[in-house]
Structure formats: structure tokens, C-alpha cells
Structure 1
Amino acid sequence: METPPAVDGSGRREARWCAVTGGRGFMARHLVAALLRSGEWRVRVTDLAPAIALDPVEEKGLLGDALRDGRAVYATANVCDLPQLIKAFEGVDVVFHTASANPDINNFQLHYKVNVEGTKNVIDACVTCKVKRLIYTSSSSVVFDGVHGLFDADESMPYPDKFPDAYAQSKAEAEKLVIKANGTYELLTCCMRPGSIFGPGDVVIPFLLSNGWKMFIIGDGKNCDDFVYVENVVHGHICAEKTLSTKEGAKTCGGKAYFITNMEQTNLWDFIYMLLEQLGYKRKFNIKIPLFVIRPITYLTDWSYNKVFVWCGMRQPKLLTSARIKYATLNRTFNCKKAVEQLGYKPIVSLKDGVKITIHSAIDEHI
């Protein structure tokens, strides 16, 4: 028989504690806000910085209020430091593990240390602190080999023998650890595999604001992708936690991985143009650069990033690496039927509305 939730003196359900690793990251900030808005959670935000630094909007908003009244606390915790994690997870019911190494840095040692060994530490800390549920932010890239396109891939797709970059390889290894940990000392686990995430606070929109007029198509321009608005990714995480918290749900989704997208597969370049159109660019870019032209450039840029190559006094932008070209020129679409049926997931913000919200937010920040 399940233990009934604690209630306060007024008969209302008492908020439980959860922790969000990498809590100051892009998606994690939206997750923290959603957890606080629900009223069901007190949130321990963990990240590398010795203290939390809020921007003016956060200071006056939900997170600032929650930090002041105790509904949220900040804890310094490096996922590579097990004692720090154990301290951060004390008294926590659920951990949302979003922390990850920067995917722009294609360094296998770094990614292995943070994404794989760090995830092992998170699991060990959860077991030590008797955390009930662990929701891991994985990636749709864990089934992508960078050679073959994916169209409507579902969770039966196996991990590839080779990966396009260190990020994808390490996320797959970490996901395996989380799946294997399900049922270990009563810890229940679930993995989310979001598609290409966008939304307020991402790094793509500021780039488009500055460089939209320079855009061109790489390859034949026919490849599709599965974009997902950040609030839908958050919603998927919350759906997974709620499902995992019931006996039947735990049997169904414990130790499983789920693709999470907007369920609106679209041409990659049409999506970028949709963003540019919202920014005021009226002319659709139609210059196409063949792959045989662009590939030699990627070898130079790959080398330049590794060597911190400086050209004309400026660090080269990390856009034309060989891994990025693979992501930008091959089909990568995923089937969310399993998440819909087993987690009750359904996108709450459409692609079109997500684009409008994202652009308006970015423009407001630039004013």
C-alpha cells in the first residue's frame, strides 16, 4: 500500500523536495520554474557556481521569490564530486539530472568524466540518500551515427557502433547506466530523449539575430528534423516523474527511455526560415553549398577548436565542425507514440507558438 502524501495544518498537500542537477542550464531553468509553479515541489537547484546569480527578471520573479521564502534553495554541487552530491540530495524524493558537458567541446575525456562518471555519481548519491526517483535528461542523439539518416525512429532503434561526436557517445553510455540502475535499492529511473530543443534563453536565437542575413543551406536542403519547444521537454520530464510515482506506472516506464518532440516533423531549413521570418527577414535564403565544398572547411574548423586557433584576431564560431554538419544535413525525426501512450505526454505548446514566444523573448532582451 502506498504511503499517503503528507499534508500541512490546513489539509493541503505538503510540497516535497526535488533536486535539479545543472539547474542553471537552459532547459533546467524552465524545469525549475515549472516545478515551483506546480506548488507540489520545493526545489534544490544545484550547479557548479559557489552561489546563485540571478538576472533582474529572475530576481523579481518566481525563482527570486522562492529563494527568499524557502521554496527553493541553491546548493553547489559538481557531478564529479560524490560528497557534494550526497549533501545536495539529502531529504530529496526526486532528482532531475540535467547536468551535462558542453556539447560544443568535442573532447571525449571531458564528456566521459562529466556525462558518464558524473551520472554514476548521481546514481550513487541517489542510492545513498534513498532518493525514490531519478529522471535523466538524455538526448535523441544517442541513436544517431552521423552517417545514416533517421526517419520516425522509435525506442527500438539500437545504439550505433559509432557516434558523430563525444557528446552523443557519452550520453548513450550515461543512459545505459541510468536504465540499469532502475530497481537498485528501490530507486526508480526513467530517461528523456528530447529532440532539438529551442526556446527563450537558448543559444540559437541570439546567433540568428546577429547573423540571420548571412544564412545559407548546407547540402541539398531536403533533410527534416524534430524540434521541440523547451516547455514541452519540461512537460515530458514531469509526465515521466508522475508516471513513475505510481505502482503501475513504475512497472511500465521504470528503466525505459522515451523520445520527446513537438510531434511536428519539419524541414530543418524551413524551420530556420520560420525563425528568421519572425525576426523580420522577408527573403528566403536559397544559396546552397554542396557537402563536398563544406567538408574540407570542417577539417580546418575541427583542428582550430582543438588548438584554440585564432584567425584574424578572432576565435572562429563553432558552426562548421564535422559533427555539426552531420546533424544539419541528415534526416533526424523520432516517434513519440511510446511517450504518449505510457507517460501521457502531449505537447502543450505548438511549434508555431513556440517560435513566436522564443523570438519575442529574444527581441525583448535585446531592446
Structure 2
Amino acid sequence: MATRLRQANKKCTVIGGSGFLGQHMVESLVEKGYSVNVFDIQKGFENSKVQFFLGDLCRKEDLLPALQGVVMVFHCASPTPSSNNRELFYKVNYLGTKVVLEACREAGVQKLVLTSSASVVFEGTDIKGGTEDLPYAKKPIDYYTETKILQEKEVLSANAPERNFFTTAIRPHGIFGPRDPQLVPILIQAAKHGKMKFMIGDGKNLVDFTFVENVVHGHILAAEQLQRDSPLCGKAFHITNDEPIPFWEFLSRILTGLNYEAPRYRIPYWLAYYLALLLSLVVLLLSPLVALSPTFTPMRVALAGTFHYYSCERAKKHMGYKPPVSLDEAVARTVESYPHLRRDA
């Protein structure tokens, strides 16, 4: 009887388990002896130890089979921010999460850990050692973040000890690592087209970048400690590498690690911001005539030129969080994982 109970408590579902973070989460859970279900819109990898369920996140009847007999759920499904699809952001991040909560309650799931984002408090101005007590952004940097705010509020307010249902949110920042389809490939593509010669600002602005395995570690710690009367219940927690680094130094280490030149020239932050703002206005004026998607936007200028790093003290205190992988090791392992992107000497 005790053995069956332990096995039941080790059964979990990763929603969005075919994505970048999701795959790493699944692999770590399997290594730790969990029985893992993956729910996603497509099967992104092969693993004989994992049971896959394919379907639409917004259809409860698709989701329920993946939650049967499951104690804990990790919800890390989300469109990529760069897709710039407002309708999809709202559908998946907000409406889909409401369906997830309803399905979890119906299936008798006890624990839900959401992958949120530290950007829910970021408005494009400096944040230095920001805590979870900062208010949600009144002017989010983009619509993706606006829907992540809605999502996080929905999940945290769903915490219900009286129903034996407990929720928490993990707020990572700047996730990177092997198999990342975004940061490194996009950075190298920009370098190939000569777009990485300039840095915005004086290059001193510190930012958090977080290795994917550390993000996974934070999620699993949270799930294992999420229970009645836990300080995690209904709360959000920053999970980073806890090693803020100058934004342009981090990008330069990735670039030079793959044999590309680091940015050499500086553009004053104010100039870059107003140029991006002007470009956005031009795009807005031309939008009735032609579809344009500029990559040089005020939001991206703010991300590249301001301080935005966050305190992990709450996670350290209540979860015993400590990043297993240092930033130096994380950068080295990430660079080594992209031999196909390395420029010939």
C-alpha cells in the first residue's frame, strides 16, 4: 500500500512538454524516477519512458486524459514571444490556462506549477534586484507579457487549500541552454547579417540570464514542496542563475564562443530608443498599406539597454533553491551544443 502511494505521488504531467523548457523538464523528471505524461499540440521528441497526449490546450476533453491519476502538473506551454501573434497569446496564455485549471480540479490534481516570467513586473525601466513584491506592470513591454500577467493572476488566485488544490508560479528570466530555438540561433543569424556590430548604451547594464537546467530545478523544487500550509501556496518565485551579468558581455561570450566578433561600437541608449520609437510610428502609419514586422523596437531597445535582474532570496528561503549550474559552465555547455552554428575560422 505504501509503495503504491509513493508511486502515485510520483506521477506528473508536463503541459507543453515538447517545447524547449518542457523537454528539459521531462528528462529531469524521468531521471528522478517520476512517471511522466506529456501534453502538447505535437510530439517533439521520442522517449520510451514517457506517455504522450496530443491535443488542443483550450479543449478540456483533450486535456483530461493526460491528467488522470496525476498528482502534480507543470504548465509551461506558451507561444514564443517573437511570434507576435496577439490572438494566439491570449488564447494559449490566458484562455488555455483557465481550461488547465478547470481540468486539474476535475481530474483531482493536487499541485500546479506555472512557468511565468520575471517580465510581468518590467515596464522598460531599470530593475535592480527586484523582488516578487513589485507590482505587476501597468504598461507591460508587449502583449505577450500582458497575457502572462493575466495567466499568473489566474493561477495564483486558484490556490484552494479547502479543495486540496495548491498553485505556485515560477518566474525565470532569460532562459538559455542546449536546444534553445530562440536566443542563440537568432543571435547568430543577426551576426551573419552584420547586425551585431553595435551595442546599445554603455554596456554596463546588468541582466539575468538563466540556464535551462536551473529553471527546471526550481520548478521541481517548488512542486515537491507545494502542499498545505506551505509558504509557496499562491505565491510567485524568481528563479535565475543569481549571477547578473552585463547584457552585452553575455551576448559577446556566446558570439565569440562560436567564432563571431563581439559588438564593438556603442549607440547612446536615448538615441537608439527614439530611433526605434520613430520606426514604430512609421510602421503604424504604413500598416494599412503593407504588413511590416520590425525587429528594432522600443521594447527590444529597453531589454538591451536597461538593468533588469531579480532577487532569488524568496526561493532560497522557502524552497532551498541554489542554482546547480554556474553561469560560466552554462555558457560553455551552451556554446558546445551548437557546433553547427560555429563559424569556420
TM-score (norm 2): 0.89
- AA aligned to 1:35 is L
Taking only the aligned residue pairs, the percentage that are identical comes to: 36
Aligned position for 1:287: 265
Partner Cα distance (1:4, 1:155) in 2: 38
Moved more, 157-166 or 15-24: 15-24
> Within 5 A, what are the aligned runs for 1:201-240?
201-202=179-180, 203-212=182-191, 214=194, 215=196, 216-240=198-222
Query: Aligned with 1:319: secondary structure?
Result: coil
Alignment deviations for residues 318-357 of structure 1 (CA, whole Å, 9 cap, x no partner)? 6323322222222111000000110111100111111111
Deviation of 1:204 after TM superposition, in Å, equals 1.7
Change (3 A) 1:212 1:192: same
Task: Look up the match of 1:255.
Answer: 234
Alignment of 1:85-100 (within 5 A): 85-100=63-78
Task: Show the counterpart of 2:108.
Answer: 130
AA in 2 matched with 1:275:
I
Greater mean alpha carbon deviation, residues 120-129 or residues 296-305: 296-305
Report what 1:33 is aligned to: 27
Alpha-carbon distance change, 130 to 144 in structure 1, aligned in 2, over 3 angstroms: same
Question: Aligned in 2, Cα 1:256/1:160: closer, same or farther, shift over 3 Å?
Answer: same
Please tell me whether residue 362 in structure 1 is matched to residue 344 in structure 2: no
Aligned counterparts of 1:77 and 1:275: Cα–Cα separation in 2: 36
Q: Which amino acid aligns with 2:38?
A: V
Cα offset, 1:109, TM superposition:
3.2
SS at match of 1:193: strand
- The correspondence of residues 1-367 of structure 1 with structure 2, limited to 5 A, is 4=2, 6=4, 16-39=10-33, 41-49=34-42, 52-54=43-45, 59=46, 63=47, 65-66=48-49, 72-146=50-124, 148-183=125-160, 185-202=163-180, 203-212=182-191, 214=194, 215=196, 216-245=198-227, 247=228, 250-281=229-260, 283-289=261-267, 290-291=271-272, 292-299=274-281, 309=291, 319-363=295-339
What are the superposed Cα offsets for residues 161-181 of structure 1, whole Å, 9 maximum, x if unpaired? Answer: 221111111111111111111
CA distance in 1, matches of 2:245, 2:235: 26
Shift of the alpha carbon at 1:219? Answer: 3.3
CA contact (8 A) 1:15 1:42 kept: no
Q: What is the SS of the residue equivalent to 1:251?
A: coil
**Stretch deviating more after TM superposition (225-234 or 176-185):** 176-185
What is the deviation of 1:208?
A: 3.2
Change (3 A) 1:210 1:159: closer
Query: What secondary structure does 1:118 align onto?
Result: helix
Amino acid at match of 1:162: K
Structure 1, unaligned runs of 5 or more: 67-71, 311-315
Task: Write out per-residue CA displacement over residues 134-157 of structure 1, whole angstroms, 9 at most, x where no aligned residue.
Answer: 0000000111122x2111000110
Structure 2 residue runs without a partner (length 5+):
none
* SS of residue paired to 1:338: helix
Contact 1:77 1:88 in 2 (8 A): no
Conserved 8 A contact 1:301-1:321: no
Q: Distance in 2 between matches of 1:235 and 1:192?
A: 11
Equivalent pair of 1:192/1:259 in contact (CA under 8 Å): yes
Conservation of the 8 A alpha-carbon contact between 2:117 and 2:173: yes
How many angstroms apart in 1 are the aligned matches of 2:219 and 2:290?
37
Kept after mapping to 1: 8 A contact 2:9/2:71 = no
Q: How has the CA–CA distance of structure 1 residues 307 and 258 changed in structure 2, closer, same or farther, with 3 Å as cutoff?
A: farther
Structure-2 separation of matches of 1:76 and 1:123: 18
Deviations 1:25-82 (A, max 9, x none): 111110000001111x111111112xx253xxxx5xxx2x32xxxxx11101322111
**Deviation sequence 1:285-326 (CA, Å, 0-9, x none):** 22123313343234456788998737xxxxx6x632332222
Structure 2 CA distance for partners of 1:365 and 1:107, relative to 1, 3 Å = closer
Determine helix, strand or coil for the equivalent of 1:341.
helix
CA RMSD in angstroms comes to 2.5
CA shift for structure 1 position 4: 4.8
Q: Secondary structure at the match of 2:230?
A: helix
Q: Look up the equivalent residue of 2:298 and give its one-letter code.
A: S
8 Å contact from structure 2 (residues 8, 69) kept in 1? no
TM-score by length of 1: 0.84
